[in-house]
Structure 1
Amino acid sequence: MDRFTLKKMTETRTPKFGHYVGEFCTPGIGHILASARCDFVFFDMEHSGLSLETLKSAVRYFEAGGVAVIVRSPSKDYDMIARIADAGAEGIMAPMVKDGAEASMVVRHLKYPPVGKRGVALGIAHDDYYSGDLSVAERLQKSNDRTTFFALIETREGAENADEIAATPGVDCLWVGHFDLSASLGIPGKFDHPDYVAAFGKIVAAAKKHNLSLGRLVSTAAEGIADVRRGFDFCCFATDTSLYQRALKAGIAELRSAFDGK
């Protein structure tokens, strides 16, 4: 029950590097990420269609590789947040957190009493089917200490309220959803627009003010390096589909070019 490290990762500003998985969830995926020296995985249930049943298996794949798991929930609702946590996810990322009240609500869904109101189920996936001598109170405390909340800020309102979200007890990391944020601002994909730059800056400033971790998904290593230099410590490098597509397109293009006109 003590081997998880994601909470400890959020307690330092040392860069942590990971990868997004939303398509290729195979038994070897944990070891593949581990061999690439990933510290964590961003496992996406919002845009992937991956089920809770798949998640239960995937958590074990990543545990086998020693890779910490952050799961993006498709909603902020209790039944989804609590079930993801019960399935063994160490980190939960809630989408489109708009203010401190919503952040507090997610904390209540994620944590056991007295901190929150999550329903108690012991001896299942989230506590490794533990059957030892710890009291119920101790087991609930251990779970509360381990579960880690990543507040995904990706709307105009969320950016405006970034400071109160960051100040909410139980929030461990602010995560920037850059595409949704730009779309919410009415400037989709225009990351150099002054409105986007200002909103982005509010989120970064809030994380620094409250000494929280700060994370984002990046497409290139150069993007990630720039983020770390501006204060990000969770850098999620690329989606699984984008990496596969880029490598495949480059290889096939090189093969075709060798025989063009022959």
Structure 2
Amino acid sequence: MATFASASPSAPLLGSYLMLSSTLSAYTLGGAGFDWVLIDMEHSPLSSSDATALVHAVSVASRNKTLTFVRTPSAGVEYVKWALDGGANGVVVPMIQSREQADAVVAHARYPPVGQRSFGPFYAPYANLSGDGTPMGYASETAKHVSVILMIESAAGVENAESIMSTPGISGIFIGPVDLRLSLGLSGPHGEEEVYLRALEKIAQLGKRLDVKVGIFVAQTSVMPKLQQLGFSYFLVGGDAMFLGNGARAALTAAKDVLKNSKI
């Protein structure tokens, strides 16, 4: 099983996302062989109940070989608590712009003495197929390994990156390239603009120095080698809605081509 700690530029972890509330989609991606799946509560109307069901479906379909992360709508304690109590291997928290925000997320996600997470993981044990199935077993064994991943996706986040990435208790940083580029006055998911590349390089270098994993969403897989060279060690390469759209268009195009070339 891949672990988040094992991610490296030489062997990056490849992930997909879930935006649909369909457990069939979760089973499908869970069985596809991705290293990790992101359940996206930020940009899709998934409830905490939906997210819990998707976490469990991915866990079962992959036999715990695929890590499950929930991207929360915000840094609110309720979202972090629901995601982890539902059994996710970690949380991805958007738009972190200061050390104070980073400290608050860690406090929400870690049990004392590291943080202030309250006890109540009644769904979480069932996402771990090898666990003992009890909340106390989860709290004493599994909880210590949950990942706390913070998103840097603004000019302010880049400016404060060192203090954010120095926060005790975090596991990684994830770049939201579209929001970061918008914050820098740019558009689109990728580009070669100097201000954007400097931002990526700064975060990648801090990741190396502070031993913090750094990942990013890629709309085009062709950009991954350059990002690997910088030090990025995990990538989000697409998701259920994207795959459905791409597959539908490809099937329709193929059918039209066959009929166009038919002699009937």
User: Could you tell me whether the CA contact under 8 Å between 2:30 and 2:59 is conserved in 1?
Assistant: no
SS of match in other structure, 2:23: coil
SS of match in other structure, 2:51: helix
CA drift at 1:191: 2.2
- Alignment of 1:54 with 2:53, yes or no, is no
- Alignment of 1:240 with 2:240, yes or no, is yes
Provide the rounded CA distance (Å) in 2 between the counterparts of 1:15 and 1:207.
Answer: 14
Deviations 1:32-53 (A, max 9, x none): 2344321110110000111111
Q: Name the counterpart of 1:126.
A: 124
Consecutive aligned runs of 4 or more in structure 1 exceeding 3 Å deviation? 127-132, 138-141, 257-262
Q: Name the counterpart of 1:102.
A: 101
User: Could you tell me whether the CA contact under 8 Å between 1:220 and 1:238 is conserved in 2?
Assistant: no
**Unpaired stretches in structure 1, ≥5 consecutive residues:** none
- Alignment of 1:155 with 2:150, yes or no, is no
Provide the rounded CA distance (Å) in 2 between the counterparts of 1:232 and 1:164.
Answer: 19
Q: Name the counterpart of 1:84.
A: 83
- Alignment of 1:45 with 2:44, yes or no, is no
User: Could you tell me whether the CA contact under 8 Å between 1:176 and 1:203 is conserved in 2?
Assistant: no
Q: Name the counterpart of 1:218.
A: 218
**Unpaired stretches in structure 2, ≥5 consecutive residues:** none
User: Could you tell me whether the CA contact under 8 Å between 2:21 and 2:46 is conserved in 1?
Assistant: no
Provide the rounded CA distance (Å) in 1 between the counterparts of 2:32 and 2:221.
Answer: 14
AA partner of residue 33 (structure 1): L
User: Could you tell me whether the CA contact under 8 Å between 1:165 and 1:171 is conserved in 2?
Assistant: no
AA partner of residue 210 (structure 1): L
AA partner of residue 228 (structure 1): Q
Bigger mean CA deviation after superposition, 166-175 or 238-247:
238-247
Query: TM-score, normalized by length of structure 1?
Result: 0.86
Aligned residues between the structures: 252
Provide the rounded CA distance (Å) in 2 between the counterparts of 1:127 and 1:260.
Answer: 54
Q: Name the counterpart of 1:20.
A: 17
CA drift at 1:144: 4.0
Deviations 1:200-258 (A, max 9, x none): 22211211111111111212332334433332211221122222212221221232234
AA partner of residue 227 (structure 2): D
CA drift at 1:23: 2.0
- Alignment of 1:205 with 2:205, yes or no, is yes
Q: Name the counterpart of 1:182.
A: 181
User: Could you tell me whether the CA contact under 8 Å between 1:17 and 1:39 is conserved in 2?
Assistant: yes
